[in-house]
Amino acid sequence: DMFFKPIQNTSPPSPTKRQTKISVIGAGNVGMAIAQTILTQDLADEIALVDAQPEKLRGEMLDLQHAAAFLPRTKIIASTDYLVTVGSDLCIVTAGARQIAGESRLNLLQRNVALFRGIIPPLAKYSPGTILMIVSNPVDVLTYVAWKLSGFPSNRVVGSGTNLDSSRFRFLIADHLDVNAQDVQASIIGEHGDSSVALWSSISVGGVPVLSFLEKQQIPYEKETLEGIHKAVVDSAYEVISLKGYTSWAIGYSAANLARSILRDQRKIHPVSVLAKGFYGIDDGDVFLSLPAQLGRGGVLGVTNVHLTDEEAQRLRKSAQTILKVQSQLGL
Ligand code: 6V0
């Protein structure tokens, strides 16, 4: 009664290829944008979805499964039970209360810490060797919370952080200069949000350092123009939320971009939220914020020692203090 008649005298290849499994926790706008980007980019053999709402979760699972004829083969499973995540290589956490228009990211915190107490321990239990990628906001503090609740070494806990802010930044600079955003090397580090730090001193376009180029050509540039671009990055999440209610596509690509670097061992450098203690003069306490970090199959492989101006370093430490102050109120 089998569709295929088995061929005789076969033996499985040995050793069998390791399958890659990604779990996405939270099947909301962000979780589903991430899942669909992972599917189209062929990053996993199996995707497991978890959400607290069983009907919505099953609906999202079926809707994705129905695209199978157009996609690379990926097994898609879903359950409200964390058993479905067993053996994950990467767990991406997007579950959370939604940011309301005008609400600061920090206001979301207490609501989300309570959710994480029910999410992180079962993920760590079913996939003790997994890498945790936190997306839920406020992402830096929640990455710290996930690190604490998981008991994992810090190289296996990373927050999507300012990888998204940096891509918004590169888009705006590219738009301003009428070049391709992929040719713009620019990053924003620090807190994902209001106190993020734009690294103007290290921006280059096609390998040409921008600020020193302008200075050499004696082209005047307004500090206000630069600050305006950074402000537009900071405001962009609020703007999209006020217009469409949530953000999804850019964070979907951003998280899939990180997943690729990790699972395919790309050893690329991304501004992501990592344990920052000991870097750039941050030594007040255990704080996660975005630094240019190298990502690979081992998770966070290291932090790049980029040159920061005194002002940039000072802003970064202020960013760290902002996050630490919030963290100290959690009692973790
Ligand atoms: P959403 O569409 O409300 O989805 C959240 C999902 O989480 C819902 O489907 C809920 O049912 C589910 N959920 C709630 N509690 C639990 C639980 N205990 N276990 C499992 N699932 C649960 O929100 P949206 O997808 O728009 O945003 C999700 C989170 O991502 C929010 O915290 C956002 O602020 C954050 N973002 C972070 C970004 C970043 O760059 N780090 C970018 C965009 C959004």
Question: How many CA atoms lie less than 13 Å away from 11 in the CB half-sphere?
Answer: 2
Task: Name the residue of 83, 94, 120 to mutate for ligand 1: max ligand atoms within 8 A of Cβ.
Answer: 94
pLDDT, one tens digit per residue, over 245-277 is 999 999 999 999 999 999 999 999 999 999 999
Total Cβ atoms within 10 A of residue 17: 7
81 secondary structure, DSSP code:
S
pLDDT over 80 at 162, yes or no = yes
Give residue 51 CA to ligand 1 midpoint distance, Å.
Answer: 10
Query: Which atom belonging to ligand 1 lies closest to the Cα atom of 251?
Result: 42
Q: What pLDDT was estimated at residue 46?
A: 98
Give residue 247 CA to ligand 1 midpoint distance, Å.
Answer: 11
Pair 273, 192: CB distance under 8 Å: yes
Query: Which atom belonging to ligand 1 lies closest to the Cα atom of 57?
Result: 9
307 is catalytic: no
Query: Between vectors from CA 146 to CA 278 and to CA 280, what angle results, nearest 5°?
Result: 15
Q: What pLDDT was estimated at residue 9?
A: 81
Q: Whose CA is nearest to atom 30 of ligand 1?
A: 136
Question: Which of 68-82, 120-134, 216-230 bottoms out in mean pLDDT, i.e. has the lowest?
Answer: 216-230
Mean pLDDT score, 105-129:
91
pLDDT over 70 at 17, yes or no = no
Q: What pLDDT was estimated at residue 102?
A: 78
pLDDT over 90 at 110, yes or no = no
Give the Cα separation of 114 and 237 in Å (integer): 24
With cut-offs at 50, 70 and 90, classify the pLDDT of residue 213: confident
Q: What pLDDT was estimated at residue 164?
A: 97
Query: Which atom belonging to ligand 1 lies closest to the Cα atom of 139?
Result: 41
Give the Cα separation of 327 and 144 in Å (integer): 8
Q: What pLDDT was estimated at residue 226?
A: 80
Residues in contact with ligand 1 (CB, 6 Å cut-off): 25-31, 50-53, 94-96, 98-99, 115, 118-119, 135-137, 139, 160, 164, 192, 246-247, 251
Give the Cα separation of 154 and 160 in Å (integer): 14
Give residue 110 CA to ligand 1 midpoint distance, Å.
Answer: 14
Q: Which of 66, 192, 270, 307 is catalytic?
A: 192
* Strand stretches in the chain, DSSP E: 21-25, 46-50, 75-78, 90-93, 131-134, 157-159, 184-185, 188-189, 197-198, 204-205, 208-209, 268-275, 288-296, 299-303
Which comes out higher in pLDDT, residue 303 or 284? 303
Give the Cα separation of 88 and 132 in Å (integer): 10
Task: Name the residue of 23, 24, 29, 30 to mutate for ligand 1: max ligand atoms within 8 A of Cβ.
Answer: 30
Give residue 135 CA to ligand 1 midpoint distance, Å.
Answer: 8
SS3 at position 284: coil
With cut-offs at 50, 70 and 90, classify the pLDDT of residue 331: confident
The token pair at 298 is 């081992």
Query: Which atom belonging to ligand 1 lies closest to the Cα atom of 248?
Result: 43
Give residue 136 CA to ligand 1 midpoint distance, Å.
Answer: 6
Task: Name the residue of 137, 238, 241 to mutate for ligand 1: max ligand atoms within 8 A of Cβ.
Answer: 137
Pairing of strands 184-185, 188-189: unpaired
Phi, psi of 189 (to 5 degrees): -125, -175
Give residue 3 CA to ligand 1 midpoint distance, Å.
Answer: 42
Please, which residues have CB within 8 angstroms of residue 18's CB and are 6 or more apart in sequence? none
pLDDT, one tens digit per residue, over 178-211 is 899 999 999 999 999 888 999 988 899 988 888 8
Q: What pLDDT was estimated at residue 187?
A: 95
The token pair at 272 is 């992501």
DSSP H helices, 66-188, are 109-126, 139-150, 163-177
Question: Which of 7-16, 281-290, 294-303, 319-328 bottoms out in mean pLDDT, i.e. has the lowest?
Answer: 7-16
Task: Name the residue of 98, 100, 188, 238 to mutate for ligand 1: max ligand atoms within 8 A of Cβ.
Answer: 98
Give residue 43 CA to ligand 1 midpoint distance, Å.
Answer: 22
SS3 at position 101: coil
Mean pLDDT score, 123-131:
98
How much is the pTM? 0.94
Q: Express the helix, strand and coil content of the chain in percent, nearest 5 each.
A: 45, 15, 35
Query: Which atom belonging to ligand 1 lies closest to the Cα atom of 247?
Result: 43
